[in-house]
Structure 1
């Protein structure tokens, strides 16, 4: 709905590309000031306020939040979208890789949300939306570390929703299926047969295609919208039915 975010300031971590960039576009279309937090801000559209923020570093996050507060005087929405992927079983990812991924995918969300809380408490339409994954609800091959990190994101969403609801802050998450993003494309490019690998990923999803970033952005916009004031502690799947449907294989 045009104008539903008028006057609101929304921070999107990982907002320079992929799903994050689509979320930024959707917020701007709804009237919000969309702010990008990312390690690489070179490709951010003109007119979008972007801050180079490393969510793995507390000082960097705090400085980013302060920059937004100084520029706009408010923060209304935080989308914790930034994260890293991981491939492997519990045997193949060593301790250092577990610490790296959890530090970004889980503690990164904590750092950004924690720093933004004083501002969100002042907002008349405060919302946090976390990006989890289909790996929260479905066991996928060689996604042990990634799935564990996103499972923590889902659990954190519930705990944060309980902790902050009566402060006027809604907290939800979105669970995308395999999406058509730069990270997935890099995985495909590294496969022995990228065409066959893409076909396999598409066949795994009941609607037989990859999820588009704009579809995830639409779900995030709903969860963040002031029009969804009774929606909190919710995980919204955008996965073509992969979590809940069991269709017969195509011929």
Structure 2
């Protein structure tokens, strides 16, 4: 079950975190993986790990906010069976202290970046009359998170785009879903805590971990496992759905 043999998969943000975990797992399950990441070094490390395991992958250094560059990469890839939109950035702030530059940065990566990749991939999938798209949303779609104004805006847009694409291409053989993680322990989280809470790293890590009722953050591999299922043939009857993977955050955090 959950094999991706002979599938061509594109994973954005594949140089670190959830994207890297997805790229490694997909390759292990038989997919030919194309890693897209702005951080060329991170992408090359993912590529090396996949190749060292005897699996197949390619790396494309690309800024997903630049539509022309995204289109060039997809033209180079040529065929796409699966797209995972994992590239994203975060921000701390409410509506008052979020600057126009902050807002635009979050919008460009988390919304426009997803749009650019969706547009490039859907045109290919439509010709093939088949395709699977998985977007990384967030629990911020569903609940109010303190000081996450711009980030919540962007992930709400990802959720809405997921539903729109799923509906518009229902009869083109294209499935589109999203997953909504709570906090996931990635290098991004460690850097975020170090930057925003200097001297209180241990305290804040424990606090953020315990905000999930299950008592810890998720592991990237756990998110990747759900994504693998949704991108596999075993999930062929699932489209237009959002899957919280949150350690009980939404329903149990009373």
- TM class by shorter-chain length? over 0.9
Deviation at 1:63? 0.9
Map 1:171-182 → 2, pairs under 5 A = 171-182=176-187
Q: Tell me, in whole angstroms, the C-alpha distance in 1 between the residues paired with 2:190 and 2:251.
A: 25
Cα distance 1:84–1:246, how it changes in 2: closer, same or farther (>3 A)? Answer: closer
After superposition, residues 30-41 of structure 1 pair within 5 angstroms as 30-41=29-40
TM-score normalised according to structure 1 size: 0.93
Query: Which of 98, 110, 115 is the equivalent residue of 1:110?
Result: 115
Question: Is 1:227–2:234 an aligned residue pair?
Answer: yes
- Whole-angstrom CA distance in 2 between matches of 1:218 and 1:162: 25
The answer to whether structure 1 residue 82 and structure 2 residue 87 are counterparts is yes
SS in 1 for 2:171: helix
Instruction: Give CA-to-partner distance per residue, 1:7-44, whole Å, 9 cap, x none.
Output: 00000000011100000011112110111000123223
TM-score after normalising by structure 2: 0.92
Number of the residue aligned with 1:184 = 189
CA deviation string 1:52-78 (max 9, x = no partner) = 111110111011101111xxxx21000
The alpha-carbon distance between structure 1 residues 238 and 177, as it changes in their structure 2 partners (threshold 3 A), is: same
Aligned residue number for residue 75 of structure 2 = 66
Partner of 1:217: 224
For 2:232 and 2:130, locate their aligned partners in 1 and report how far apart those are by CA, in whole Å.
8
Alpha carbon RMSD of aligned pairs, Å? 1.3
Whether contact under 8 Å (2:4, 2:31) holds in the other structure is yes
More helix by share: 2
Kept in 2, the 8 Å contact 1:125–1:226? The answer is no
Paired residue for 1:27? Answer: 26
SS of residue matched to 2:119: helix
Check the 8 A contact 2:212/2:253 in 1, yes or no: no
Give the one of 137, 140, 143 matched to 1:132.
137
Contact 2:47–2:59, Cα closer than 8 Å, also in 1: no
Secondary structure (helix, strand or coil) at the match of 1:174 reads strand
Structure 2: gaps spanning 5 or more residues: 52-56
Aligned residues: 242
